[in-house]
C-alpha cells in the first residue's frame, strides 16, 4: 500500500485484549490429545493521534487510519469510539533505593498529591508500589487516598540495591491479576532505570509490561541532560507499551498533565482477531490519507494457547 507510511514519531496507545483458550475433554478413558478453541475473537486497541505540530486530534474518523497486525492491513473495524478515561487502573511504581529517593522526594510527593486531587481519577483506581533492596512493597492498592501513601512511602528505610526489572515484572503481574477488558491499565514509573540485583532481565520486564496491557509513563530520575543506560531502558519500556518518557526536570505538574491529556484524548477501535498463530503479534497504526498524522502505539500483543 503506497498510501501507508511508518511514523517514527508515533503517538498512539494500544491496548490489545488477551486471547483466552480452553481445552476440551473428549470423555474417553484414554487421555486424548487436547483440542483447543479460542474464546475471544476480538482485538481491542486504544490510541491517541496527533498532527505534525503534535496537537491532539479530536475529530479522527475510521477511514483516517489502518491497523497493521502481523503485516496484515486492517481497515474494517467492528467498533470505533472515544475512550472512557474514567475507567482507569493506575499503578505508581516508585524507586526507593538509597541513591534515588532522597533526591527526588518532593517531586514524587507532588505527583502523588496531584493525583489525589485530580477529579479525573476515581479514588479507588490508584495503587502505589515501592521497590528497593531485594523486594517490592505494596504501599496501597485501590484505596490510596484514604491511606496517606506519601507518609507510608517515605516512612520506609531507603535501600541500597535496586531490583528495577523485578519491580516492573511484579507491578505488571499485579495489574494482570486485576485485568478487566473495560478498564484501562496505566503505570507511572519513577526511577533512574538502573538495576543492580534483579533476577529478571530487561527483556523480561518489557515482556511483562506488554502482557499486562498497561501503558507505562516513565519518569527518569537521572540528572537532566545526562542520557544514561538506565535512561535508555526507561525509554524502551515506555515506547514498547505505548506510553511516554519524561525527565524529572519537567516537573510534576507537566508530567501528570501530559498523562491525563493522553487519557482524555484516546480512541478505542476493535477488530476481528486476524489469525490463530500463538506468540507475539506486532502492531502498528498508520495514516491512510494525511501522512502527517502521528500515532503512538504498543508494539504488539501476545496470543497464547492455554491447556
Range among 108-112, 206-210, 276-280 with highest mean pLDDT value: 206-210
In the block, cell 496505566 appears at 186
The pTM assigned to this predicted structure is: 0.81
Closest CA to 14 of 304, 216, 299, 274: 299
pLDDT(157) > 90: no
Give percent of the chain above pLDDT 90: 42
pLDDT in tens, 3-27: 444 333 333 333 333 332 222 233 3
pLDDT(66) > 60: yes
Q: Which three cell numbers, joined as nine digits, stand for 70?
A: 502481523
| Predicted local distance difference test score (pLDDT) of residue 113 | 79
Assigned CATH for 88-256? 3.40.50.410
Q: Residue 182 — pLDDT band, cuts 50, 70, 90?
A: confident
Residues 6+ apart with CB under 8 A from 230: 164, 191, 192, 193, 194, 195, 220, 222
Q: Which three cell numbers, joined as nine digits, stand for 151?
A: 507518609
Q: Which CATH number fits domain 1-17+39-83+266-288+295-307: 2.20.110, 3.40.50, 1.10.238, 2.60.40?
A: 2.60.40
In the block, cell 501522512 appears at 291
Give percent of the chain above pLDDT 70: 82
Q: Give the separation between CA 51 and CA 185, rounded to whole angstroms.
A: 25
Ranges of each domain in the chain: 1-17+39-83+266-288+295-307, 88-256
pLDDT in tens, 107-130: 888 888 777 777 667 656 889 999
Q: Which three cell numbers, joined as nine digits, stand for 283?
A: 502492531
Sign of the dihedral defined by the CA atoms of residues 106, 87, 48, 10, in that order = positive
Amino acid at each position: 500500500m503506497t498510501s501507508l507510511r511508518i511514523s517514527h514519531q508515533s503517538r498512539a496507545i494500544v491496548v490489545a485484549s488477551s486471547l483466552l483458550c480452553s481445552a476440551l475433554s473428549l470423555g474417553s478413558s484414554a487421555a486424548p490429545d487436547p483440542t483447543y478453541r479460542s474464546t475471544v475473537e476480538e482485538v481491542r486497541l486504544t490510541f491517541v493521534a496527533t498532527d505534525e505540530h503534535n496537537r491532539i486530534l479530536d475529530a479522527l474518523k475510521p477511514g483516517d487510519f489502518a491497523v497493521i497486525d502481523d503485516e496484515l492491513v486492517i481497515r474494517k473495524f467492528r467498533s470505533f469510539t472515544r475512550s472512557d478515561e474514567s475507567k482507569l487502573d493506575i499503578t505508581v511504581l516508585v524507586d526507593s533505593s538509597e541513591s534515588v529517593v532522597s533526591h527526588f522526594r518532593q517531586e514524587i510527593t507532588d505527583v502523588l498529591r496531584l493525583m489525589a486531587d485530580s477529579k479525573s481519577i476515581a479514588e479507588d483506581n490508584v495503587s502505589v508500589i515501592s521497590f528497593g533492596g531485594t523486594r517490592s512493597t505494596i504501599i496501597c492498592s485501590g484505596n490510596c487516598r484514604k491511606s496517606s501513601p506519601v507518609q507510608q512511602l517515605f516512612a520506609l528505610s531507603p535501600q541500597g540495591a535496586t531490583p528495577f526489572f523485578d519491580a516492573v515484572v511484579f507491578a505488571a503481574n499485579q495489574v494482570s491479576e486485576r485485568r478487566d477488558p473495560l478498564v484501562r491499565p496505566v503505570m507511572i514509573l519513577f526511577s533512574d532505570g538502573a538495576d543492580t540485583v534483579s533476577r529478571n532481565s530487561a527483556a523480561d520486564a518489557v515482556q511483562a509490561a506488554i502482557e499486562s496491557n498497561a501503558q507505562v509513563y516513565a519518569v527518569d530520575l537521572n540528572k537532566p541532560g545526562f542520557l544514561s543506560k538506565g535512561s535508555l531502558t526507561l525509554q524502551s519500556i515506555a515506547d514498547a507499551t505505548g506510553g511516554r518518557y519524561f525527565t524529572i526536570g519537567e516537573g510534576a505538574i507537566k508530567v501528570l498533565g501530559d498523562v491525563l491529556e493522553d487519557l482524555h484524548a484516546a480512541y478505542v477501535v476493535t477488530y476481528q482477531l486476524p489469525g490463530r498463530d500463538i506468540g507475539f503479534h506486532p502492531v502498528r497504526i498508520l495514516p491512510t490519507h494525511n501522512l502527517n498524522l502521528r500515532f503512538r502505539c504498543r508494539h504488539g500483543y501476545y496470543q497464547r494457547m492455554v491447556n
